[in-house]
Amino acid sequence: MPELPEVETVRRGLHKLIIGRSIASAISDNPGSFPNAQAQIDAFLIGSRVTDVRRRAKVLMIDLSTDYSLVVHLKMTGQLVFRGETDFGAGHPTDSLIGELPDRSTHVTITFTDGTHLFFNDQRKFGWMKLLPTAEVGDLPFMRRVGPEPLEDDFTLRQFIDRFSRRPRTSIKAALLDQTVIAGVGNIYADESLWGAHIHPKRLVQTITDDEFAALYREVREVMNLSIEKGGSTAKNYVNAEGKRGSYMDFARVFRREGQECPRCGTTIVKFKAAGRGTHICPICQQL
C-alpha cells in the first residue's frame, strides 16, 4: 500500500489514538511479521507506555517509555488499525474496509492495559514490525541510506536537483521510486507527479531540464500534500489507523485510469511497464 501520504495519515491517527497507552500483551502468529525474541518483547515492550509516533520515509516509529521503539514498515498491504474496547464486534462504519479484528491477515495483536487493541494486518506478509532501541533506529541500513523528506519546509529545489543528479543515466521514474534519492515517493505519486510536470516516465534523468525539475519538485510536493489532506489513496486495501479508506484516488489524474480521458487534454490515458512497475501516462502531455 502505503507511500508517504498513507504512512503519514496512519502516523497522525496513531498519534491521536495510542500515545499514553500502556502495553499489556503482544502476540504474533508469524515470525517474519515480528521477528524479535520473546525475551526482548517481555523486557522492553510489555509494560511500556507509548510516548510518541513518528515517521521517516515510509517507516513508522512507535516510541516507548523504555527507550525502545516499535519500527514498522507496511510494505504493500500492511495495516495498523486501532480498535477501542467498545468497537468490538459489529457496527463498523461503511467507509471501513475491514470488519471484526483480528481476522485472517492479522499477524500481530497488541493489547493495551485499558483493553484497547492495535492490530497489524498484512495480507502479503511483506511488512514487518521490529522492536529496537530508539537510539539505534537511525543505524538501520535503510535509515542510513534514505534521502531527504520532500515535504519538509527546508527541502529546496536545489537539493531536489542535486539528489537526482546522482543518477543521471536511469529513468526519471526509477529515480523517483529510489528511496535513496528522495524519501517517500511510490508508484502512485510517481505517476501523478510526472503527469503534473508533463514528463514521460522513461526520460533519462540527464535529459531533464531545470524547468522540468522545478515543475516536478512542485508536483511531488503538491500531490503528496493533497493526498495527506484527503487521507491517502485507497487503491486496494489501504486503511488509516481507524480502519477507514483514504479518498485521494477520487482526485488522481492518471493512476489506475487507463482508458479514461486525460483531465488536461482529453486524450485516452494508457498503461505500460516502466521501471518494472505499472505506469500510467497521457501520451500527448508526456512525450519521450
Partner DNA sequence: CACTTGACCTGTCCGC
Partner DNA sequence: TGCGGACAGGTCAAGT
Shortest reach from residue 98's CB to DNA, in Å? 12
**x-or-dash string of contact with DNA, 56-75, rule CB under 7 A:** -xxx-------------x-x
- The full DSSP string for 205-260 is GGG--HHHHHHHHHHHHHHHHHHHHTT-B-SSS---TTSBPPBGGGT-SSTT-TTS
Indicate which single residue of 3, 8, 63, 219 sits in contact with DNA (rule: CB under 7 A): 3
Which 184-203 positions form the footprint of DNA (CB under 7 A)?
Answer: 186-188
CB-count burial class (<10 Å; 0-12, 13-18, 19+) for 15: middle
Q: Quick count: other Cβ atoms within 10 Å of Cβ 81? A: 26
Size of the site for DNA (CB under 7 A): 43
Tell whether residue 141 is a contact of DNA (CB under 7 A): yes
Indicate which single residue of 121, 171, 227, 286 sits in contact with DNA (rule: CB under 7 A): 171
Q: Assess whether 2 carries a catalytic annotation.
A: yes
Q: Assess whether 5 carries a catalytic annotation.
A: no
E strands in the chain: 23-28, 50-56, 59-64, 68-73, 78-83, 106-112, 117-122, 128-133, 270-274, 277-281
**Which one is catalytic: 149, 229, 277, 283?**
277
**What DSSP designation does 112 have?**
E
Shortest reach from residue 223's CB to DNA, in Å? 13
Tell whether residue 106 is a contact of DNA (CB under 7 A): no
User: What angle separates helix 187-196 from helix 210-229, to the nearest 10 degrees?
Assistant: 130
Tell whether residue 81 is a contact of DNA (CB under 7 A): no
To which H or E segment does residue 189 belong? Answer: helix 187-196
Question: By C-beta, is 89 or 104 nearer to DNA?
Answer: 104
Question: By C-beta, is 2 or 196 nearer to DNA?
Answer: 2
Which 34-53 positions form the footprint of DNA (CB under 7 A)?
Answer: none
**Which one is catalytic: 21, 56, 58, 230?**
58
User: 25: which residues sit within 8 A by CB, 6+ positions away?
Assistant: 46, 110, 111
Question: By C-beta, is 23 or 81 nearer to DNA?
Answer: 81
Q: Assess whether 6 carries a catalytic annotation.
A: no
| CB-CB contact of 168 with 206 (8 Å) | yes
Question: By C-beta, is 111 or 123 nearer to DNA?
Answer: 123
| CB-CB contact of 21 with 116 (8 Å) | yes
Stretch that binds DNA, among 37-45, 219-227, 236-244, 262-270 (CB under 7 A): 236-244
Shortest reach from residue 7's CB to DNA, in Å? 9
What is the chain's percent helix, strand, coil content, to nearest 5? 30, 25, 45
Q: Classify 183 as helix, strand or coil.
A: coil
Residues in contact with DNA by CB under 7 A are 1-3, 6, 32, 57-59, 73, 75-77, 104-105, 123-126, 141-142, 145, 167-171, 174, 177, 179, 186-188, 233-238, 273, 275-278
Active-site residue list: 2-3, 58, 277
